[in-house]
Amino acid sequence: MRPDLALQMLADLLWNALLISAPLLAVTLVVGLLVSVIQVVTQVQESSLTFIPKIIAAVVVLVVCGPWMLKRLIGFSTTLISNIPNYF
């Protein structure tokens, strides 16, 4: 296997991982920040108050973006597996 091919495969892997995880991470980050601001303003420091909205938001994102994430992952895996004979 050529070193440049290995680096290209690694770059594709990392790029796909970033794209697949970005919606979930971004939404949970925004929800966490909003809940933290609300907690600071209202001075309610309940620990379960931070987790429940983030879990709900994560489930909503997975339901909405899940098919796209799965399609992207299957496409990457199919391309990688189908190109195995070309790597040698």
Residue ranges covered by each domain of the chain: 3-81
pLDDT tens-place string over residues 47-79: 778 889 999 999 999 999 999 999 999 999 999
Per-residue pLDDT at 13 exceeds 90: yes
Inter-residue contact 3 to 40 (CB < 8 Å):
no
Per-residue pLDDT at 33 exceeds 90: yes
DSSP 47: T
Q: What is the mean pLDDT of residues 6-34?
A: 94
Per-residue pLDDT at 1 exceeds 70: no
Model pTM score: 0.80
Q: How far apart are CA 85 and CA 28, in angstroms?
A: 40
- pLDDT band at residue 15 under the 50/70/90 scheme: very high
Percent of the chain residues topping a pLDDT of 90: 66
Structure-model confidence comparison of residues 1 and 12, the more confident one: 12
What tokens appear for 67 in the block? 């098919």
Inter-residue contact 56 to 28 (CB < 8 Å):
no
